[in-house]
């Protein structure tokens, strides 16, 4: 377990808020030691127990936050003082603003060519001072990975936003973060689609109420039903098991 992290169904989570997460990124950028971040939701807690490669990627991450409100509630139920949800999309947007203010260079990797270009255009429109080291779509063959990693290293960004799905982004960061040489890499999943305006997020009240999953389920029921309905049941069982185990140790 990483120092300072707490266990949520055995998954290490840093009990911090958005301001603390941004401050930690500042430290990592200053230190210049390659690092990466993982956002944890209920589905990823379940996958942690089923995928050893993903488990290793999460265990070795340098920063892990509670992306889902369910993870925050579970942590508090288990007696941990996790102050708030730090969603990956919100952290990405906060870091874009911070990068523009502090002169950090950023790189966008992932999604389709159309979406990643739209992300770059939107980021430039929102933050004219933002330094963009480069961008590339996420469609490349395994044998091209070394070339992609070398290109990012050559571009020299301070922050890498990786728009792959889970577990591909966690695998990629664990496998390549040292070779990338980027002080802070973060997997942002579908956040490129949000920034590009392709996908709408749930209303703020639904996010605060922990119902963003229901909004996404309503948007894509065929793709999301197993993840949310079956996965959330499995997540609750894992949390209940840890809670019962702790009570049995008293």
At residue 120, the pLDDT reads: 96
Q: How far apart are CA 244 and CA 242, in angstroms?
A: 5
| The dihedral formed by the CA atoms of 80, 83, 89 and 91, expressed in degrees to the nearest 10 | -110
In a domain, 214, yes or no: no
pLDDT for the residue 182? 98
For each of the chain's 250 residues, which pLDDT tens digit applies? Answer: 788 899 999 999 999 999 999 999 999 999 999 999 999 999 999 999 999 999 999 999 999 999 988 899 999 999 999 999 999 999 999 999 999 999 999 999 999 999 999 999 999 999 999 999 999 999 999 999 999 999 999 999 999 999 999 999 999 999 999 999 999 999 998 899 999 988 777 677 766 666 666 666 566 656 655 665 666 788 888 998 888 877 666 5
Is 121 a member of any domain?
yes
185 lies in which domain range?
6-204
C-alpha R_g of the chain: 18
Residue 215 within any structural domain of the chain:
no
Instruction: Judge residue 171's burial from the number of C-beta atoms within 10 Å of its C-beta, 0-12 exposed, 13-18 middle, 19 or more buried.
Output: middle
Look at residue 150 and tell me if it is in a domain.
Answer: yes
Inside any domain, residue 227: no
Contacts (Cβ under 8 Å, ≥6 apart) of 105: 99, 131, 132, 133, 155, 156, 157, 158, 159
Rounded to two decimals, the pTM is 0.90
Q: Is residue 250 part of a domain?
A: no
Domain-located, residue 219: no
The length of the chain is 250
H or E element that contains 16: none
CB count within 10 Å of CB 58 equals: 23
Count of the separate structural domains present in the chain: 1
pLDDT for 244: 82
- What is the DSSP secondary-structure string of 131-180? EEEEEE-S---GGGHHHHHHHHHHH--SEEEEE--TTHHHHHHHHHHHHH
Is 74 within the bounds of a domain? yes
At residue 151, φ and ψ (nearest 5 deg) are -65, -40
10 Å Cβ neighbour count for 39?
A: 29
Phi, psi at 15, each rounded to 5°: -80, 75
């Amino acid at each position: 377990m990483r120092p300072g992290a707490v266990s949520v169904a055995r998954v290490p989570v840093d009990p911090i808020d958005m301001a603390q997460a941004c401050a930690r990124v500042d430290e990592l950028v200053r230190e210049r030691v390659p690092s990466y971040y993982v956002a944890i939701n209920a589905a990823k807690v379940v996958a942690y127990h089923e995928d050893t490669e993903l488990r290793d990627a999460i265990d070795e991450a340098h920063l892990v936050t509670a992306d889902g409100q369910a993870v925050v509630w579970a942590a508090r139920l288990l007696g941990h003082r996790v102050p708030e949800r730090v969603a990956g999309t919100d952290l990405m947007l906060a870091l874009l603003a911070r990068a523009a203010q502090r002169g950090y260079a950023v790189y966008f990797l992932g999604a389709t060519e159309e979406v990643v270009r739209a992300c770059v255009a939107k980021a430039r429109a929102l933050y004219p001072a933002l330094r963009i080291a480069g961008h590339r779509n996420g469609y490349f063959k395994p044998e091209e990975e070394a070339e992609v990693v070398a290109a990012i290293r050559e571009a020299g960004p301070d922050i890498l936003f990786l728009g792959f799905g889970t577990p591909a982004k966690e695998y990629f960061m664990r496998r390549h973060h040292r070779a990338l040489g980027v002080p802070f890499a973060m997997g942002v999943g579908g956040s490129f689609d949000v920034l590009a305006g392709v996908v709408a997020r749930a209303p703020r009240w639904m996010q605060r109420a922990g119902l963003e999953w229901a909004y996404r389920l309503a948007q894509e029921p065929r793709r999301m039903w197993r993840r949310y309905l079956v996965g959330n049941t499995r997540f609750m069982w894992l949390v209940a098991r840890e809670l019962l185990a702790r009570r049995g140790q008293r």
